Amino acid sequence: MLLDFWFSRCGPCLESFPDLIKLYNRTDRSKLEILGISIDDKRSIELWKHTIVNNNIPWINWLDPDYSISYRTFSIELYPTKVLLDRNRRIIKINPENVEIENIISNK
């Protein structure tokens, strides 16, 4: 599982979507799922929804306006941040490159 922490006004977050979508589309779901977790605040819900639709993001996205997952659980302060988890939900790597993700999941 890859957790992708982002928000709608984050330029680098938006720039990362095309390559991440390519990785997602060429990877079997039994090997890789992605969960987007956005810290957009409640006033930005429409922008958040628009960003998901406009960028054709195919994976599930959660809204985390209180930082309960991003900061309180994972201590994330910089965006985007990607966290690769194994099947037991242990952290394998933080901010892996897409090629690293492919190498890791192909060895499983």
In the numeric block, the tokens 């099947």 are attached to 87
pTM of the model: 0.94
CA–CA dist 106, 70 (Å, integer): 27
CB 59 within 8 A of CB 52: no
Predicted local confidence at residue 13, as pLDDT: 98
Predicted local confidence at residue 108, as pLDDT: 58
In tens, the pLDDT along 9-65 reads 999 999 999 999 999 999 999 999 999 999 999 999 999 999 999 999 999 999 999
Q: What is the CATH number of domain 2-106?
A: 3.40.30.10
Length of the chain in residues, anyone? 108
The domain locations on the chain are: 2-106
CB 37 within 8 A of CB 70: yes
Which residue in 86, 34, 27, 81 sits closest to 60, CA to CA? 34
